[in-house]
Amino acid sequence: MIETKVFSYTDEQFADLQMLRYRVDGFEQLTLQQKKLVYFLSEAALTGRDILWDQNGKYNLRIRKTLETLYTHYCGNREDEEFKAFCIYMKRVWFSNGIHHHYGCEKFIPGFSEQFFRTAVKQLPADELPLENGQSVDELCDLLIPVIFRPDIMPKRVNQADGEDLIQTSACNYYAEEVTQAEAEEFYSRCKKSHDPHPVMYGMNSRLVKSHGRLREKVWKSGGLYGAAIDRIIYWLEKAATVAENEKQAAVIRKLVDFYRTGDLKTFDEYTILWVQETEALVDFTNGFTETYGDPLGLKASWEGYVNFKDLKATERTEKLSANAQWFERHSPVEPRFKKEHCKGVSAKVIKAAILGGDLYPASAIGINLPNSNWVRAEYGSKSVTIGNLTDAYNKAAHGNGFQQEFVIDDETRQLLDRYQDDCDDLHTDLHECLGHGSGRLLPGVDPDALKAYGATIEEARADLFGLYYIADPKLTELGLTPDGQAYKAQYYSYMMNGLLTQMVRIEPGKNIEEAHMRNRALIARWTFEQGASEQVTEFVRKDGKTYIRINDYAKLRVLFGRLLAEIQRIKSEGDYEAARNLVERYGIQIDRELHEEVLTRYRALHLSPYKGFINPVYTPVYDEHQQITDVKVSYDEAYDAQMLRYSHDYATLPYVND
Ligand code: ZN
């Protein structure tokens, strides 16, 4: 009998999360060399997992080991309510790579008691627990219980509250406990030479510590902090270099190895320059310290890794945008002095993710634009990707789930969304990534970090607005990217509905908006709502006790997006901190409590999860009798918990305590 496994995009749901699966169609058609390259790079992408856990909080590795031992060795009744609540907590910790919410950053509170935890842990085999230097099991519990249970200890991974010491009040592990925000800011402003046209990304790859009253960096490199993990990443990268698709790609990988060996940030810039210029190979990857959202000061980069290959057909779409980058720059509503004179190297492609690792796992971005160094981007361009197979999985999972029926105002608008939404979403992501982030320029002498804690929100708003402004442009229909002049309305409606209403489903009652992308969406939607209020461009409509959004004038809304784009670009170009702060604080953060409660109630009734993450496929090499790889197989049937436990076992690279 032939057994056929039906692929399902959706998998288990727990807390506010749903697991999805993505397909890596086209992998079988790669050459053996490309398959090996994907496999070796995938191993490198999974190997850095422990680094991220430790970056997210200094107790995370010990907590993970303790929880996992409890999960696998619990000898009580597994149907017990407390144990079930424990399992949910375990799955949430896995999902977040730590004890704080992956998106909102708040610590989640367990649904089981301290008493249950202590009793259960004491029954576990001691050699399976992360006991340090003769520590007893009780001492381990004494250490971990307050961290897990007490709401006042390490309440937020990243605190963005204006006016507080953002470092002292954030639980992330990028600064030693005794370092203050003022000290860190002073330390890094002294690093910056005022007229260096090619500054490195100061502070990106280190923890800032204080010893004998002096600040210094502990660098993440081979032989340094996280060295054990980094050495194993190097091992896989060196294997990958032997099967690179071309000499340029091999040089990219070798330069990255150099950087991991030395921790030298100049070498890192050289690596990103080589990486951005390698555009020929089908397979590509990111591996390293990349995004800075996890640091309240936006300097320290969390570890991430992923591997992908180009989706040739879909890439035609983004290549059209790239080829016209200069046209878009020239016609944007931004003041000429803030525009780039020569838009170069905006390479854009649609890719298929082959593996997600570090800070991209299991929750992943769907569009990525790198590198992050402003001068490298200005002089060498950037690589921008839309991850087609993840978007596809989201779309497949969303069809028919009742969401639009509940929140979209009428049938006519629902039909508009049905017809255009999936395509427009992809296109907006393309515009955001390959044109938006790459557009505009800083005025000479402006510090790229001038907007500080507001920088990320302003930057995302800039890219989103670029996309919103242009998705309505006849040029896109001319290029064959939108089917007609109506399609953009689907994007406008869903954007405004999300920014004004439905993105609140991701926020807990009583909380405000924290995450940069969400702040940006609220900022754009509320600012344009307010600016268009006198003409009722967008309005709130109440029907049967429910609130909806109606857009009365789509063309006018586009004008407002353009006006805000010009202002946001001015703020970025001039480094106008006060203006950034005013906009973000006024429009991006607060939530109307009554409306929030209503949206949450309606959303709960749908039994949907506001956040999604992905279970990775499994790659299994096939060996011949000489231990040579003859093929690599991909499969999709590993369970979520099995995958997490396997990763914790196979990719355990770091000690429990990394000082
Ligand atoms: Zn972005």
Q: What is the pLDDT of residues 11-55, one digit of tens each?
A: 999 999 999 999 999 999 999 999 999 999 999 999 999 999 999
304 touches 55 (CB < 8 A) = no
Q: How far is the CA of 460 from the centre of ligand 1 (A)?
A: 5
CA distance 532 to 538: 7
The verdict on 20 and 44 lying in the same domain is yes
pLDDT at 399 over 60: yes
Dist. CA 296–CA 170, nearest whole Å: 7
Q: Is the pLDDT of residue 245 over 50?
A: yes
Q: Are residue 577 and residue 463 in the same domain, yes or no?
A: yes
| 422 and 542 belong to one structural domain | yes
Q: 461-498, pLDDT tens digit by residue?
A: 999 999 999 999 999 999 999 999 999 999 999 999 99
CA of 457 to the centre of ligand 1 (A): 9
Range 578-604 burial, b when 16+ CB lie within 10 A, else e: ebbbebbeebbbebeeeebebbbebbe
Question: Is a pLDDT exceeding 50 seen at residue 1?
Answer: no
Q: What is the pLDDT of residues 72-84, one digit of tens each?
A: 999 999 999 999 9
C-alpha of residue 426 to centroid of ligand 1, in Å: 13
Q: Tell whether 506 and 641 lie within a shared domain.
A: no
Residue 516 CA to residue 458 CA, distance in Å, equals 8
> What's the 272 CA to ligand 1 centre distance in angstroms?
18
> In this structure, are 643 and 507 located in the same domain?
no
Q: Same structural domain for residues 479 and 627?
A: no
Q: What is the pLDDT of residue 535?
A: 97
What's the gap in Å between 431 CA and the centre of ligand 1? Answer: 10
- Ligand 1 centroid–CA 510 distance in Å is 27
Over the stretch 297-356, which tens digit does the pLDDT of each residue have? Answer: 999 999 999 999 999 877 888 889 989 999 999 999 999 999 998 875 466 788 999 999
What is the CA(541)–ligand 1 centre distance, in A?
31
pLDDT at 176: 96
In a domain, 198, yes or no: no
Of residues 443 and 316, which shows the higher confidence score? 443
pLDDT of 5 higher than 60:
no
Please, which residues have CB less than 5 A from ligand 1, an ion?
460, 463
Distance 179 CA to ligand 1 centre (A): 30
State phi, psi for 169 to the nearest 5 degrees: -100, 5
The sign of the torsion formed by the CA atoms of 617, 618, 619, 624 equals negative
Whole-number Å distance, alpha carbon 366 to ligand 1 midpoint, is 10
Structural Rg of the chain based on CA atoms = 24
Percent of the chain, pLDDT > 70?
98
Q: Tens digits of per-residue pLDDT, 251-289?
A: 999 999 999 999 999 999 999 999 999 999 999 999 999
Sheet holding 283-291, edge to edge: 283-291, 302-310, 346-358, 382-387, 367-370
- Cα-to-centroid distance, 507 and ligand 1 (Å): 20
Same domain, 589 and 468: yes
Total domain count, the chain: 2
One-letter amino acid identity for 505?
Answer: V
177 has a pLDDT exceeding 50: yes
Give yes or no: residues 579 and 543 share one domain: yes
Distance 293 CA to ligand 1 centre (A): 12
Judgement on whether residues 572 and 645 belong to the same structural domain of the protein: no
Please give the Cα distance from 222 to 236 (Å, whole number): 14
CB 91 within 8 A of CB 640: yes
> How far from 267 is each of 16, 201, 252, 254, 288, CA to CA, in Å?
41, 11, 11, 11, 13
Distance 376 CA to ligand 1 centre (A): 17
Residue 437 Cα to ligand 1 midpoint, Å, equals 7
Q: Is residue 588 part of a domain?
A: yes
Q: What angle do CA 456, 54, 362 make, to 5 degrees?
A: 65
Asked, for residue 5, whether it belongs to a domain, the answer is no
- What is the whole-number distance in angstroms between the Cα of residue 246 and the centre of ligand 1? 30
Mean pLDDT for the stretch of residues 241-252: 98
Q: Which residue has the higher pLDDT, 5 or 233?
A: 233
45/29 Cα distance (integer angstroms): 22
CA of 506 to the centre of ligand 1 (A): 19
* 126 and 103 both lie in a single domain: yes
In a domain, 44, yes or no: yes
**Locus of tokens 């799955």:** 91
Q: Strands 618-623 and 629-635, how do they pair?
A: antiparallel
Query: CA–CA separation, 572 vs 458, rounded Å?
Result: 7
Six token digits for residue 275: 């990486």
> Domain for residue 478, yes or no?
yes
Count of H-run helices and E-run strands, the chain: 24, 14
Question: Which CA distances in Å does 480 have to 13, 435, 619?
Answer: 39, 17, 37
Size (the chain), residues: 659
The predicted pLDDT at position 650 comes to 98
Q: Which residue's structure tokens are 């950034």?
A: 580
Q: Is the pLDDT of residue 602 over 60?
A: yes
Residue 3, pLDDT above cutoff 70 = no
CA 425 to ligand 1 centroid distance, Å: 14
Give residues with Cβ within 8 angstroms of 246, minimum separation 6.
278, 280, 281
Burial class, 198, CB count within 10 angstroms (exposed 0-12 / middle 13-18 / buried 19+): exposed
Distance 433 CA to ligand 1 centre (A): 6
With 50 as the cut, is the pLDDT of residue 607 above it?
yes
Residue 400 pLDDT exceeds 80: no
Of 436, 196, 188, whose CA–CA distance to 334 is shortest? 436
pLDDT > 90 fraction of the chain, expressed in percent and rounded: 85
Whether 644 is covered by a domain: the verdict is yes
Strand 367-370 to strand 346-358: parallel, antiparallel, or no bridges (unpaired)? Answer: unpaired
> Residues 574, 450: one domain?
yes
Q: Does residue 162 form part of some domain?
A: no
From 366, 226, 202, select the one nearest 288 (Cα to Cα). 226
- With a cut of 70, say whether residue 137 has pLDDT above it: yes
User: Residue 457 domain-assigned?
Assistant: yes
- pLDDT per residue over 624-653, tens digit each? 999 999 999 999 999 999 999 999 999 999
Q: Alpha-carbon distance 245 to 102, whole Å?
A: 35
Residue numbers of the domain that contains 559: 312-355+395-612
Mean pLDDT of 572-600: 97
Do residues 637 and 566 both lie within one domain?
no
Residue keyed to tokens 């971005």 = 365
Q: What is the pTM of this model?
A: 0.81
* Gap between the Cα atoms of 484 and 382, Å rounded: 30
Token reading at 371: 């590198």
Q: Which residue has the higher pLDDT, 425 or 344?
A: 425
Average pLDDT of the residues in 172-183: 96
Q: How far is Cα 62 from Cα 57, in angstroms, rounded to an integer?
A: 10
